[in-house]
Amino acid sequence: MLPKKNRLKKKKDFENVFNDGRGYKEDFLYLKIAKNKLKTSRFGFAVSKKFSKNATVRNQIKRRLRELVKTKISKIAAGTDGVIVVLPGLEKKDFWELEEVLSNLFAKAGLIKQ
């Protein structure tokens, strides 16, 4: 589970990231990032019904992404808010392929160095 201090929860925070952030796309993931004035980085996840009508599938993808972000959060520079949007087609990927896609996405966005 991603620690509370590293989670985006409020609608206002999500709107700030979507309105002011820069976007990066890799495979079936889209990342929007924006600067915040905090000493931590926070992430939120958006998986719409277009991805899957089945809530268990959407929640499973969010759990996987949370776990992957949790492992990488220590390498990410402080002061960043991010929202990861899942696009249809990701459900066919396994956990390790998802990890590789997320690592490439973070590297492309300049959040971590490979």
- Average pLDDT for consecutive 10-residue bins of the chain (114 residues)? 92 95 94 94 94 92 95 91 93 92 94 74
114 part of a folded domain? no
103 part of a folded domain? yes
Model pTM score = 0.92
Q: Could you give the number of structural domains in the chain? A: 1
104 part of a folded domain? yes
52 part of a folded domain? yes
Buried b (16+ CB within 10 A) or exposed e, 13-50: bbebbeeebeebebbbbbbbbbebeeeebbbbbbbeee
pLDDT for the residue 91: 83
| CATH code at position 89 | 3.30.230.10
35 part of a folded domain? yes
Q: Residue 79: which domain range?
A: 4-109
79 part of a folded domain? yes
The CA–CA distances, whole Å, from 25 to 1, 2, 95 equal 24, 22, 18
59 part of a folded domain? yes
101 part of a folded domain? yes
